[in-house]
Amino acid sequence: MKIALMMENSQAAKNPTVLNELKTVAEPMGHTLFNVGMDGENDHHLTYIHLGIMASLLLNSKAVDFVFAGCGTGQGAMMSLNAHPGVVCGYCLEPSDAFLFNQINNGNALALAFAKGYGWGAELNVRYIFEKALTGERGQGYPIERREPQVRNAAILNDVKAAVLKDNYLDTLRAIDPELVKTAVSGERFQACFFENSQVDEITNYVRSVLDA
């Protein structure tokens, strides 16, 4: 599985620690990681609004399979990611949240809080969140006897979101302030991940046009 980690300006200083914990968990499982957000306070400046655009491009183009995003509380990142078609983002403060999201909701992104509650032992909590988010077969339900209705409801929610967001995916991006989109796609690590892995030519060409504008 290809996994993207993205962090915005307020929590950028924690990126090396968070990235190390994700590597510790994901690489032994054979996953490929892309650190596409800010990796320090002086890096390409991003807000949680940019993270939503970035996550939507990476997931809709199939450049990655899963996104871990975050901000101070995790709430802004969650709302920003969920504003876009093709993104189903959960909210995660502790490992049990990651496990239950994995089993019940089976989405493709998680938003973490990197300031609220980030105290002594925070790196351990982050590591265990990554473990629970990435371990085991997804969508098995919890408790297991609830699997059938939970799988059905997760699929229904995806259908509802698709019905509500009826526009063509790229049309939704074109309706956003172009400068927001250009900032979101201007980072070198994001571009490397996106252009090397995008499987949807129409989306790839759109991003190139934004960068050339």
| Whether pLDDT at 166 is above 80 | no
What pTM, to 2 d.p., does this model score?
Answer: 0.94
- Mean pLDDT on 46-64: 98
3-class SS of residue 119: coil
Query: C-alpha dihedral over 184, 68, 1, 64, to 10 degrees?
Result: -20
Q: Give the pLDDT of residue 11.
A: 95
- Beta bridge partners of residue 110, listed in sequence order: 68, 90
Q: Which of 82, 87, 26, 39 is nearest to 61 (CA)?
A: 87
Task: Quote the mean pLDDT of the chain.
Answer: 94
- Kind and range of the H or E run holding 37: none
Confidence bin at 41 (pLDDT 50/70/90): confident
| Whether pLDDT at 1 is above 90 | yes
Q: Which of 83, 133, 125 is nearest to 108 (CA)?
A: 133
* Number of domains making up the chain: 1
In terms of Cβ atoms closer than 10 Å to its own Cβ (0-12, 13-18, 19+), residue 3 is buried
3-class SS of residue 32: strand
Q: Give the pLDDT of residue 112.
A: 98
Structural domain for 69, as ranges: 2-212
Q: What is the CATH number of the domain that holds 50?
A: 3.40.1400.10
